Structure 1
Amino acid sequence: RIPFEDRVKRVSIPTLVQKTLLAPKILNWKEAQHWIEPPPRAMKKIQNIPDGIWINFSLQKDGMYKLTGKEILDKVSSNTNLDPRSLMLFTSSAFGRDRTYELTNKLFNEYSIPENLVELAITIQGESDGNLGNDDILYFYAHGPSGFDQTIDNVSWHQNLYFTESNYWLLIPSNTTLRGNRVQTADIVQDGPLNIDYGLSYLHFETDIENPQGSGLAWGNTIIRQGGLFSQAVNLTEPVSSTTAHGLFGMIGKESVSTRYGNTKHKVEISLSDKKLVNMTWSNLGMHYADFIIGSGVLVNGGQTFKITNNGDNPNSEPLFDFLTLSYMRKLNYQVPFEFFSPIQSNDMTFNIIGSELKVWNITYGTNPENLPLTSKDNITSMRVTLPADTLQNFITFKIADLPSPTLNTSTGPIEMNRLRNTTMSANHIIIGPHSFSS
């Protein structure tokens, strides 16, 4: 016998998923559906953000950025008491990216509501004196709306179809005794024999122009009619000729004249320097992808052009080119700020970079990067790191003088960042719209 309590204190209304899966399998479903207990719910503590002056700016791509003390001081009143050690930098908890798809494809009970804002670690050159001067420099790593995201050892492109700029907020706290999050310097790794002068680089090419089905998220670039081709120019920085490279390209099916089932056969080929890389065949209106390998010695330094050709037999086939992603080994030669991944794991390794007066950050965990200890000799900058076995390490190399500065918007006074958070009641849906719609 299975004992039951006489009375269930609280019950939950069955969800559509529960009705679909459980009702056909439980004989007394009519009674049992009233026995479902609601999951335990714990109210997450709301983040307390200090009062102060907020300065907003937006960014369009991943990378290192800087703000000078003068740029910040020009946005606040002359009588503002400003200790640079208290400055804080915030962005959305999605770190620049959109989160719509992630939110709408998870069960509510399995997902905790993220914080409105997260603080990023930054560095301020000249803050130690406790007074923000015109020549002080604040620099930081940030994400734009689209870019490469890393999950453990997987690197993939995130294309944002919802907005083209990511917002950031610089906070000048009213309480100058507060201290903002700062980039820490990693421990020195004992010297050893393993060293390389190259790293793994990723590039992505995508321009969303047309939406062939007029709905959804399948945006492409250019229609390729039967026998036609699309040329995608790329510019590579000193690829290592003795190594192979990898690529992924995407297409979207489209018909010149709509058929009943939308199953016109498409056949495209991608090539480089008259060398065929891969064919792709499919028969629907959706998105389709194919990966390929580029042999050693094929990639060259500088510009080259990939050609995507429509080799289909059916004149009704006119698919759209969607994107091209490349990963290749490049020499670590500094010309402008650049990112690279470690091509190996589970070792202590020295990376030798051509260039002097450089800085290198480990940006594997982008909101809290690490500054890396460096040594320099004869225009070679070396960094010694420990590479874990399970996670690719991502680095960015830069000179402060080469970093761009975003345009700062007008400063504003105290802002209540948690206005939509309510700790006393819950709702299945929140509708946000113009005030005029409220009636």
Structure 2
Amino acid sequence: MHKNHYFNPKTASLLWVLLVSFALFLNRASGAGNALNKENEIKIIETTSHSLTFDFHLINLRADSVKIDGRLFYRFSFLDKSSDFSPNRPELPFAVLPVGIPPGAHAEISVLGTETKQLFNSDVVPTPQWKKVNGLHETFYKIPGDYFNKDQFTPSQIAKVVDTGFMEDLFLARIKISPIQYNPARHSVKIYTKMRIRILFTGGKKADRTEFLQSTGNLNPYDGAVINLDQAKKWIIPPPRKTLRKPIRFWGSGVWYKFPVYKNGIYKITGKFLKDNGINISTIDPKTLKIYNNGGKALPRGLNAPRPDSLLENAIYLVDGNDGHFDENDYFLFYGRSVTGWNYKPEDTDRPWQHYLNPYTKKDIYWLTFNDGETGKRMQTVSAAPESGLPELTQFKEHVFWEEEIYNPLHSGMIWFGMNFLGQDEKSLTVLLPDLVSGSEINAIFQMYSFTSEKQHINWSLNSNSASSKAFYAYRLKDLYFKNILGAKSGENELAIKYEGKNPTSQLYLDWIEFEYPRRLNLKNGALFFNTPVDGRRYRWAVSGVTESSTLLFDVTDFRSVRLLSDWTLSQKNLQFSLATRYDKPLRLMAVEPKA
């Protein structure tokens, strides 16, 4: 699962740094909000076709005292401030104000007046530095030998134009305001509580487009983004008009029926089932039967990540007698996926198989429609007749995982864990490893989470056999890899985890566990999923435990285009077939014994 990253509490108490906060000035009543939307922070004084004059008020200034090697320094901050972390320099905050200007114009800035306060016998803290301690980055402060040599206030300019450029269709100038100046040699700090600033625009295009923008309502993207929107809106360049059109329109005609799927498998929909649920099957044209679904995974969080434009049609296997009717005994099969599973990522050599779950739902929704005049997508049938002289496979690498969403320590929707260890603690769970090849070793990956960078230690055992122990630093997420573990057995396994915290308040979370083990190709409980090697070779597979000649074999690698594999043979409860594997990813195959 994707996890957010949070503040490291350890950086609040750094070795020899003592941090004490106090309010230095409070110019206004404290209030939340963006500086660009607050009249008491930025006040427009005058706008013309070629200039902007405004007042900048320093709001909610704070000074935090920091002791470094016994000497007192101050770290200043204020509402919506930014900082420059150039090494060996004073950490002086500043504000960046975006100003809309005519396209291509040059911006010149001048300070017309100021109101100031000055602090004597005061020093500004240097920018922090980072070092690695036990594999983690920690903050520390170092005073350069020439830190107090400079006898002038820095920065020399309290207001300047940083750069210009387009934001969408509006040309901007970014204005840097530096209301804190520092003279190291004189140990003096100058604070500008108010500035009156004028910006002159020269050159550029000043075409008035107010009427166009008011009529189309295109100001929304810039509301709050610049300090002078009322002035700058006339300089927004209108974008070309586009007609957005989906390639396929869903829900436009006919009736759509939805039903949930909780487990991976082949599902059978009969005419009788539809009739019993109130559908008049005598009107169904079987050629138009369609199933839609997008695979059960959550949509990617990244806005630029690829995603389906709409619902995807999935192939079905139709048995209708080819008489143009969908009767009670007619049926179709489709492959249904749950909202959990595995991704194959060969670029991650340490963990090429990565499980996933959908954090928003426990069920996948499938949609059925028909009688729209369009022929539905059908499964292709591919011959998988067994061939002699090929390497025979009777086992495969199986992957199982454990993950439960129980603990939400940060009260954030994406931060959930399955176990919480406190102090000296021990917990256990049952791990199911069906058809484990007898005497085989297994591999495991534990993902842990800690809110501190202290050294952690766990021991774990499988069926009372000591499996492994690990000492580690687990600030935030930490993957622990265990290879070639003995003691597992086919079926249920008891996993015990013992946490050895350094003190009673030590805490550790278990997020998930993944297991990899060799599994026999054995059809049990009517179904078996298995993966192929990734080497581009042809193999002969032998699946044991098959008792029904009506067993079906599917290639479900692509959930949208499932294939039915035919021409396999059955001898002494062994289903045998041959197939070529792929070089880029494993094939996902399924053998299933149909139920009535």
Q: Which of the five TM-score ranges fits, normalised by the shorter chain?
A: 0.7 to 0.9
1:391 match: secondary structure: coil
Match of 2:329 in 1: 135
For the Cα contact (< 8 Å) 1:53–1:174, is it kept in 2? no
Check if 1:293 corresponds to 2:491. no
Of residues 541, 546, 555 in structure 2, which corresponds to 1:351? 541
For the Cα contact (< 8 Å) 1:58–1:166, is it kept in 2? yes
CA distance in 2, matches of 1:133, 1:324: 47
Match of 2:364 in 1: 166
1:2-401, aligned counterparts within 5 Å?
13=167, 45-49=246-250, 51-78=253-280, 80-91=282-293, 93=294, 95-99=295-299, 102-103=300-301, 105-107=302-304, 111=305, 114-151=308-345, 154-175=352-373, 178-188=374-384, 191=387, 192-241=389-438, 243-253=440-450, 262-273=452-463, 274-284=465-475, 286-295=476-485, 298-336=487-525, 337-354=527-544, 355-356=546-547, 357=549, 358-373=551-566, 374-401=568-595
What whole-Å deviation, never above 9, does each CA across 1:69-122 have from its counterpart, x for those lacking one?
21112234437511223210012x3x21211xx24x244xxx566322100111
Which amino acid is 2:247 matched to? I
Which amino acid is 2:322 matched to? S
CA distance in 2, matches of 1:350, 1:401: 27
For the Cα contact (< 8 Å) 1:68–1:138, is it kept in 2? yes
CA distance in 1, matches of 2:390, 2:360: 48
CA distance in 2, matches of 1:392, 1:119: 23
Displacement of 1:348 in angstroms is 0.4
Gap change, CA 1:140 and 1:315, over 3 Å in 2: same
Gap change, CA 1:78 and 1:299, over 3 Å in 2: same
1:401 match: secondary structure: coil
Which amino acid is 2:528 matched to? F
Which amino acid is 1:60 matched to? Y
Which amino acid is 1:166 matched to? D
Q: Which runs of 5+ in 1 are unaligned?
A: 1-6, 21-29, 255-261, 403-439
Q: Identify, as 1 or 2, the structure richer in strand.
A: 2
Gap change, CA 1:392 and 1:79, over 3 Å in 2: closer
CA distance in 1, matches of 2:240, 2:449: 42
CA distance in 2, matches of 1:371, 1:98: 27
CA distance in 2, matches of 1:198, 1:44: 49
CA distance in 2, matches of 1:162, 1:245: 31
Match of 1:412 in 2: none
TM-score normalised according to structure 2 size: 0.55
Which amino acid is 1:349 matched to? Y
Q: Which runs of 5+ in 2 are unaligned?
A: 1-102, 105-164, 175-202, 205-234
What whole-Å deviation, never above 9, does each CA across 1:175-220 have from its counterpart, x for those lacking one?
3xx3211111124467232111112222111111110121141201
Greater length-normalized contact order (CA 8 Å, ≥ 6 residues apart) = 1
Displacement of 1:381 in angstroms is 0.6
1:291 match: secondary structure: strand
CA distance in 2, matches of 1:40, 1:195: 62
Gap change, CA 1:180 and 1:14, over 3 Å in 2: closer
Aligned length: 362
What fraction of aligned residue pairs are identical, expressed as a percent? 21
For the Cα contact (< 8 Å) 2:423–2:506, is it kept in 1? yes
For the Cα contact (< 8 Å) 2:316–2:332, is it kept in 1? yes
TM-score normalised according to structure 1 size: 0.73
RMSD: 3.4
For the Cα contact (< 8 Å) 2:467–2:487, is it kept in 1? no
Which amino acid is 2:287 matched to? R
The higher radius of gyration belongs to 2
Gap change, CA 1:151 and 1:264, over 3 Å in 2: closer
